[in-house]
Structure 1
Amino acid sequence: MTGEARTDVRVVRLDPARDAEGLIRFLSTNRFPFHGTPAPTAEAARTHVEGGAFDAPDSIAYWIEAGGERVGVLHVQEATDSTPLLDLRIAESARGAGIGTAALRLGTAAVFHALPEVTRIEGNTRVDNAAMRAVFERCGYVKEAHYRRAWPVAGAEPLDTVAYAILRSDWRTGTTTPVAWES
């Protein structure tokens, strides 16, 4: 099913106080190999959650549900900025099933609807995260930057970071405005 978006996916607003234990469990029981901390411990996840990383007004988070199960988290960081940054995490058991594509489309719409001052949404990933890069492109996000050796990797040389974004106007019209690389 890779490449196709599932139709049974929903994004549901996460309440960081009410959902703290579920969020801590999700973060600490899955590996996220393309994130800065690929395998957070329960203690590290608790510190992150209880430290306010998911709290409004600068942060909005959504549970990603598929088939009635919580299978991921979409975290909108810098939500008070005109260009928030997305962090998408899918449970190991749910990867490769089209959930990321559906979740990013739904999450993009949720952000643009909830935050009228937002003009664009950004997301970054490692250069070797081919699946996430494909999800960004399928969802209308455009590659805007390639930062050389900018992503720290524990025990290894840094990897390149690739930045994508979608403009509100492109999202609204279903078009993509290319980057003017030769300016």
Structure 2
Amino acid sequence: MAISFLPLVESVSESQAVVQFLTSNRFPFHVRAEHSAESARKLVDEGRFWSDESIGFWIQDGPERIGLVVLDDLEEDTPMFDLRLAEEFRGRGLGVPVLKALCALVFDRFPEIVRFEGQTREDNIAMRKTFLRAGFLKEAHYRLGWPTADGGRVASVAYAILRQDWVNQEITPFEWEDVPA
């Protein structure tokens, strides 16, 4: 398995490919689980995948395109990401290698980045385990922080990896309950 990232290029054909990807897959743990052609086109037209603050990449496993990732907040030293694997590639153990390769891309390409963050819903157990197995540490649990399609809310859980931890292949712990009541 050779995970690599192919930058999205702002073009008509790339825009069509992104719309096709978003409309042909469901993403049950994202705020919007399903995209219509209109909602996907709106994201493309608004620059979601190519702007000063965000860059999109196709995720490749060798020659095969397996998903899409967007790096956000690139103007800051703590960017975040939005990862979407195509349905047919989920559950195959690709999450950890993809996330590790993504860390390598971020820390190698952007020397000013201090930490790299991602968030998921509390009920996305597979992604939460992926974060931990890839060397990320849980840093926040935002109660009722994630709206769901049915109008409810679940917690949003934030994970991050520090550049120093990536380089040293270790996890710098912290004490959750550091101030007594």
TM-score w.r.t. the length of structure 2 is 0.93
Give the superposition deviation at 1:9. Answer: 2.5
Pairwise CA RMSD = 1.3
| Equivalence for 2:59 | 64
- Determine which structure has greater relative contact order: mean sequence separation of CA pairs < 8 Å that are 6+ residues apart, divided by chain length: 1
- Residues 8-157 of structure 1 correspond to what in structure 2 (within 5 A)? 8-17=2-11, 19-157=14-152
| Per-residue CA distance 1:130-171 (angstroms, 9 max, x = gap) | 111011111100000001111101224200110000000000
Which segments of 5 or more consecutive residues in structure 1 lack a partner in the other structure? Answer: 1-6
| Per-residue CA distance 1:51-98 (angstroms, 9 max, x = gap) | 111123211121111242211011101111110011110001110112
1:156 & 1:47 partners in 2: Cα distance?
A: 22
1:44 & 1:156 partners in 2: Cα distance?
A: 19
2:44 & 2:174 partners in 1: Cα distance?
A: 36
Which segments of 5 or more consecutive residues in structure 2 lack a partner in the other structure? Answer: none
Seq. identity, %: 43
1:106 & 1:90 partners in 2: Cα distance?
A: 14
| Equivalence for 1:4 | none
Q: Which amino acid aligns with 1:27?
A: L
State how many pairs are aligned: 177
Partner SS, residue 143 of structure 2: strand
1:16 & 1:165 partners in 2: Cα distance?
A: 29
